Structure 1
């Protein structure tokens, strides 16, 4: 069979995109790994069949340039597009800077849409598959993560709509509803601060700790997660695949447990239970 190709956004070292890229590469795929700063993909540098590309999902020129490189090197096809790039975010809703939250949606929602639009002709030609890395946070009301959760559920709704709209072209769409995975995602909030006029200053330390991943939660090993996800993708799965620590529990709870029961568990340890 001809060598199959995959493009993955958000492949910085030790993140989910990196894990997926490495797993695809080890399985013999042609990998196009992308991120905003190519220097942050040092662990993928020099690997056989891996091409590193600069791609900020908010920059249409960079998206178009990446699509041209892939088209030129694959004969105009792409078998798998994995929309992984995203930004995490923690802040009480009342304290949100709306410009900052708009930027979150630009990265987590409209960026993946723009990437998908640009690569759609290549995927249609290959009868390929589009994957969106979404989050269990979109199914539960986790305090301090409302804006982030809304963005991840929004792109999942778009993905589910695309799943129907792309059927006539034989292109599959899969959402990977991701639970807790061991990555570098919690290292970006070391300087977390609430606004000076926040009503939540009495629990600021607790909110900061949760933003930094100090919440007592277990996290699935990155390569275990990547192996399971790549296996699911390459079998042609569509719809939703729940993967990562707590994913199964959230899937069950969000479907079958009373809201009051879920709320009591979600508030615990967030600081709200002490106010």
Structure 2
């Protein structure tokens, strides 16, 4: 049974384009409707996350051979309730400024790897974001690495939502793959202009089908990336992908944490849903 919650939608008319890509709504394909829900977490039970649905990355990336998680991030991820907990029907991922295991900040990163993975469909989450210089929340997906036989960026990465805490009206939708990874990602941003992402919930989503990914905020289509838009191999029709949600502190995308950023800072997730 779906736990019904209020979804606030905005008719957004103005977009600020960081990278020029074709985005005429008349040209867009839509692979799904919201009638066929195939997977969800409504975060309706207070306490810890369901271990059958979510795992958690722990540490600062050193154990994985990618210090700072490969991005110069400054937090240590934990699975403590101080950093991730479900309360009142909302998952809270919280960044704290504290000395912990050699790091100056803690936070959390959760993922469905090995628990729920899928190719194609509509993936969306309703989220309220934090605010402050150096905060980097994200809702994204990685391709199955075939038990370590493949590595990033060959497995592919779809960033459904990325956000710089110092830019509270701007959302980014991006794609990484072989030949267009890191700073060469295929990406576009959307500026709400008259609203902020840290003062209310918004729905971030993609519709992903063979050869393309469409990006949405509050059901407003602002970006489409196709195989013709990437400079390397299109690896997004090959494997299932799993879901990741995290709140990083610092890193190449956002810069150093601000001296005046107030902690704790929390990323609030109302639900995550997948439609076929």
Q: What TM bracket, shorter-length normalisation?
A: under 0.3
With a CA cutoff of 8 Å and minimum separation of 6, indicate the structure with the bigger relative contact order: 2
Q: Which one has the bigger helix percentage?
A: 1
Q: Which one has the bigger strand percentage?
A: 2
Normalised to the residue count of structure 1, the TM-score between the two structures is 0.22
